[in-house]
Amino acid sequence: MKKLVIFDLDGTLLNTIADLAQSTNHALSVLGYPMHEESAYNFMVGNGINKLFERALPEGEKSEENVLRVRKEFVPHYDRHNADKSRPYPGIPELLEQLQLQGLQIAVASNKYQAATQKLIAHYFPKIDFVAIFGQREGVNVKPDPIIVEDILSIAKVDKKDVLYVGDSGVDMQTAINAGVTSCGVTWGFRPRTELEEFNPDYIVTGAKEIIDIIKK
C-alpha cells in the first residue's frame, strides 16, 4: 500500500483554466497584444507562468523582457481573481478526505508560482492536512525536474516505492519517471489522454475513485 500521494494542482485537483485565461488575457490586453480563446490555454499551461506567457505572446514578441512585462500585469490580477471560476474536479474533495482518513500523507507539486499554489489549496481544501505544498519557487527548477518530488520525500520520510504521483500532463508523467516513483495520469485535466500515453504511465484513471484502488497495490 502506498504511504504518500503527490498531486499536481492545475488540471488535476482544480480546474483553473478559466481564471488563468482571464488573467493572461488581461495582461496581454493591457500591453496591446492579441488575446486568446480560453480553450487555447489548455496547451499553454503546465510549465510555469513564464512559459505560459512566452507561449501566449505573438511570434516575434517572445523576448524575456516581454515575458516579464506580461508577468507584471498578470500576477496582481491573478492574485485577486484566481478563485473566481476555479473549482475542484468531481470527486476530488472526497478523495482527499478519504486518503487522509486512511492515514496517507498527501502533498502538492505544482509549477504554479508558490504564493498562488498555497492560496488555492488553503481556499479549496482547508480541511486537508498536506505534508507539503510546493509550487514554483525562486531558484528551484520546475517540473519535469524531479527536485520538487525529492523535496517532498525529504519531508514525508517515505521510500520512493511507497509514493504515487498523480497528474494530468506529459510534464507530470515525466516528473514521476525522473523521480523514480509510481505514475498515475488523469484524463479529466487539460491535456488529452494521448499525451499521457506517450509516457507509458503505470496507471491512467478516468475518475477520482479509481485512485483509492491504486494506493492499495
Catalytic residues: 8
Instruction: Name the grid cell of 113.
Output: 508560482
> Distance between CA atoms of 48 and 45, rounded to whole angstroms?
7
> Distance between CA atoms of 111 and 124, rounded to whole angstroms?
18
Q: Cα separations (Å) of 16 from 42, 82, 97, 180?
A: 10, 8, 21, 28
Instruction: Say how many C-beta atoms besides its own lie within 10 A of residue 19's C-beta.
Output: 22
> Distance between CA atoms of 47 and 172, rounded to whole angstroms?
10
Q: Which residues contact 44 (CB under 8 A, 6 or more apart)?
A: 24, 36, 51, 52, 55, 56
Compute the CA torsion angle 181, 185, 191, 192 (nearest 10 deg): 130
- DSSP conformation class of 139: T
Instruction: Say how many C-beta atoms besides its own lie within 10 A of residue 58's C-beta.
Output: 10
Amino acid letter for position 141: N
